[in-house]
Amino acid sequence: MELHTFWIGPYIATQLLHLFASCVVIYFLTRKVNWVDTTQADKLSEAELPFIVLIYPVLREDEATMHSTMVTLSWLDYPTSRYRVIAVPNSDDQHSIDALERLQHEFSFLEISKVPPTTDPSWQMVWDAWETNEKAYWYHEGSTREVRDLPPKKTRQLIYIFNKLVAELGTDWVLDYIDADSMPPPSHFKSAAAGLLEYDVLQATNVVGNPLDSLATSYHAFDHMCWDGLLYPHMSANGKHPYYVLGKGLFYKASDLAELGGFNPWITIEDPEIGMRLWANGRRLGIIAEPLIEECPRTFKGGVIQRYRWVCGFFQSLSRPLKRMGMTFGQRVRARLNIVPVLSLPLNVISVPTGIFAAWTFYLGHNPFPVWTVWLSLLNILLYVILVGILHVNAFRRTQYVLTNLGSRLWFSLRVNPLFMFVYYLFWTIPVAIGFWMFLTDRGKAWERTEKRDADHRFATGTADDWPSRQ
């Protein structure tokens, strides 16, 4: 068998997969985005504003990073009587506890609630809540049935503090949580008040505040601008598509979380599973346009660690949990489309060059492939160019949130030019492969944190009036 004959099958399969992936991305881009009309908040009296509890899970965090976040939280444009801010370190994380207690001297609104080991009697409130709630399916079936030794990570902290607050406040309040480095805009709570008039779950978009710190941060920032700032909002889709949440800058009604069992501790990241479980039970998602600012890893190694956790969590959420949360076969198929844009990144590195090669050999008159596959390759190349163009225009537009002058924005665009990004997509093969292996071997339960270095300190200087709002 000649070499080119051997490669016809894999070549055709790659081109068909590329077309499928492109169609999925187009499908997302054509879904309606349910943007929150933030002006509605002005119609509410103080008494009508929802009571919001912002949870701040931390694990051995950099004190300067937390200080910058606290500064931005002090700028929230919301009546102080209508919200609380509670940091939740683990009880054995003395480093974070000491830092938070020092921060309390400057930020009087900051509360601290320590999360004890799951052997502590105070966890009984969680076991009782799960025992009587079939929606907490992980506690009722499978290998995690009645398992109480929960993995030591962010999800465990959220589970404890949520149930503690339900015992204290009931369920007539709203839960918001952010990461240690997250910087919400002053309008964060007001936007939520407006959105909750129409939607059940709210998600603010995110943008990286340090896109020029290194070449790696530029590429990682581009990822956020493509997903968080472009494709993801289309998941709202008038409630017709199973959605994820992004793990920070989101708002849940406490009554909904209590009814649906709260957070699943056995997924590497809680974001996709809780979002899809809310969707499966009829809760609609609204998107807040003004983003949180966060930092991303300065190295490619840090990016790999962050991304293989995401990939593992995606695979875990899209397997058995879908059926256990009550999705039909058709709904499970739609939910699994959510991972296609990620898996398509390394695929592009193969399909585009082979498509160009096939078109070139056809032009030269000695094409070894069927003619219809050449036309398929040309279609794939055209779709790739169009979609890449959309991604880069969107990324340039979103840099206005964090880069103050045109020169910086153009420099970022040059760093993430389509040719360099094409090579970067090959890099995505690493976290995809590691994440899939973690999924197959049931790993990734513990919290492998991303190091934060107060990279976005500049946004915590000045006053609330200096916040880079670009709505």
Q: Dump the DSSP string for 355-395.
A: HHHHHHHHHHT---S-HHHHHHHHHHHHHHHHHHHHHHHHH
> Among the CATH numbers 3.40.50.620, 3.50.50.60, 3.30.70.100, 3.90.550.10, which is that of 1-448+455-471?
3.90.550.10
Q: How confident is the model over 274-303, as pLDDT tens digits?
A: 999 999 999 999 999 999 999 999 999 999
d(CA 438, CA 448): 13
Q: Rounded mean pLDDT of 52-64? A: 95
Contacts of 30 (CB under 8 A, 6+ apart): 234
Expressed in percent and rounded to 5, the helix, strand and coil fractions of the chain are 60, 10, 35
Q: How confident is the model over 79-115, as pLDDT tens digits?
A: 999 999 999 999 999 999 999 999 999 999 999 999 9
Contacts of 175 (CB under 8 A, 6+ apart): 52, 53, 55, 162, 165, 251, 252, 253, 254, 257
Is the per-residue pLDDT at 447 higher than 70? no
Q: Rounded mean pLDDT of 184-208? A: 96
**What is the structure's pLDDT at 365?**
74
Q: Rounded mean pLDDT of 312-337? A: 96
pLDDT band at 1 (very low <50, low <70, confident <90, very high): very low
**What is the structure's pLDDT at 471?**
42
**What is the structure's pLDDT at 84?**
98
Which of these, 358, 401, 404, 409, lies nearest to 380 by C-alpha position?
358
pLDDT band at 6 (very low <50, low <70, confident <90, very high): low
Q: In what order do the strands lie in the sheet with 52-57?
A: 110-112, 83-88, 52-57, 174-177, 250-253, 201-208, 285-294
Is the per-residue pLDDT at 183 higher than 50? yes
Tokens of 247: 């793990």
**What is the structure's pLDDT at 193?**
97
**What is the structure's pLDDT at 8?**
76
**What is the structure's pLDDT at 453?**
86
d(CA 355, CA 50): 54
What integer best gives the mean pLDDT of the chain? 92
Q: How confident is the model over 452-464, as pLDDT tens digits?
A: 888 999 999 888 8
d(CA 28, CA 425): 20
Is the per-residue pLDDT at 2 higher than 50? no
pLDDT band at 465 (very low <50, low <70, confident <90, very high): confident
Q: Rounded mean pLDDT of 394-422? A: 93
pLDDT band at 308 (very low <50, low <70, confident <90, very high): very high
Is the per-residue pLDDT at 332 higher than 90? yes
Q: How confident is the model over 358-368, as pLDDT tens digits?
A: 778 777 777 67
